[in-house]
Structure 1
């Protein structure tokens, strides 16, 4: 819950993960520096992505990796290059739809603004206005009686622009000037920005027995948090693992992963290769290491919905607090095969964690993850897993309060194999 609340953007998420890794003894390495063969925990930050790994004592150049993969981005509303707009006495912020959000979940919700500011000297600064600042007001039912009969229909361009104040004199630079002042940056120093809205309502326990957890960005910061916790646990353990545990949390999964910080980019492969070569390895060692590597692609999945049970496969009904889910799709929307199932089963058995299986209803389209991308791009055996939730892609999602803990323990067992 703390991690979700402190991570309103991918940039904040990786910064928070890095802070936790630093406390466990991990050190940041720059991609522009030469890497050495030192052991211990290391990590690379690039934009909204982080790759962290722990090299045990005596690791050979061909030692395989065990990877937990996740993504840091979530669907939301993102600020356009010319953000200042307005009409009829309202000041508004021009936004673009990122990914595939449930648009109605962003209506009439108090929103903050967070992300990354780039200054004239090329440096960056994180900013987080974590108070009610923006709101996308819904049209009153009195002005649209068709909502009752036809349902809510939203135009992404016309209906999703939030208000943030009053005034007829809308001036270019108002929003950025406000953020400069908020962040303590001299006026006119910000020349670039990557900004997005977020719900300011904090995560909360829900239900009669507080067995549920409601909060934002569970897809997929839940997996980023669990992967970070598992890697920290590995680094803190007394025994040295026989493989190299890795956390790879990418940006831009929600729009296809095709970026320098996405799973379809070169970041993970480059980091793994450089780790092999820094330990004196050859291309042959790299090939041997990759051949023995396994990746768990961890992302949220669909719990059976009590009001829409017919949308789920009739024999596969994942439940919240039932433990992690193993995702299967024979058309390779997920990367799991029989050997991957055995791998994950063994990890859950070692951890004493129950798990469930998920497969889509044949009549419904199946989503996808970074799993097939990772498998195809790097030739790495990959298994798709996750946690079952409700309200995926809403501004506020719902999971079982036990499931993040169960997932993290399964990941520890996987990494220490």
Structure 2
């Protein structure tokens, strides 16, 4: 008998009921509710689909915040960690080995999940870090000061490499006049940002890397084509294919399913602060480790976490260690002749996929364009 297909869950965090609700993506049936939780937008992260991490907003008048960790099968908090400052944005790498947080003072923190070690922290921006995105070894950060910076994690984790460079970041952009609200990366190393300067709002990229969805304060979700040459058009919005009018207030978050067929949106009319689509891995985990407040090289960290006993979790989970990251780093360094900064040659050179099946890809994109236009031809909001 074939095993049942993996369950896909939609997670929605709300600032109103201080919790995270999870529903089955296909059936709509409620799976579990996780309490308590009061996370800001972009402060909810699935850690390798094994558990959930949520940075908590401090209470009114408070200046400290916690990070809560939840197992998929338990509604209560499994671990509480107390970082050095409130974390405004939280992400994890796809394998769930590392957790990265951005703070209100412009600092970025990089923790190893399995040990809780703070591997490195650095001052990245002049003001609050509002959003983070990962593209392989590159970390992209956006700030309340309007700047966007790209960081090479291999360089950031190696002290000698940091001493050899003039600036700690690879690239710095300051095209936004107001705070950056979100960032998305997709195949080819292209980054799309949104800002309060009304150039764009919350967005999520289509997994096929050809169109992306942008949510606005007007409650609409815009479908926009990538790579459209607008220079030959008189209108600045010529790349907008259509819009979905389903919310009465600002769109706060978007998430697309892995097959690109379903889009989930959250809005202030909920109110909803975060939405995620995850495929939970319901495995027995050892008790999670608390995140340290200081790097181990600077002294022992004060243990200030509440770890709930989980006697049923007696199966060790292998692989979550810095050795995985270092092995991948060595592979990249070997490909670039031992250079301590392999990304200086540019994103397109390092991440370009082999030019195989280009003709089939071209035909696929043509069919996709036809499909998208046919869908919007049948929509009442066409041309909005």
TM-score, structure 2 normalization:
0.26
Higher share in helix: 1
Higher share in strand: 2
The higher relative CO (CA closer than 8 Å, separation ≥ 6) is in 1
Give the structure with higher Rg (CA): 1
TM-score, structure 1 normalization:
0.24
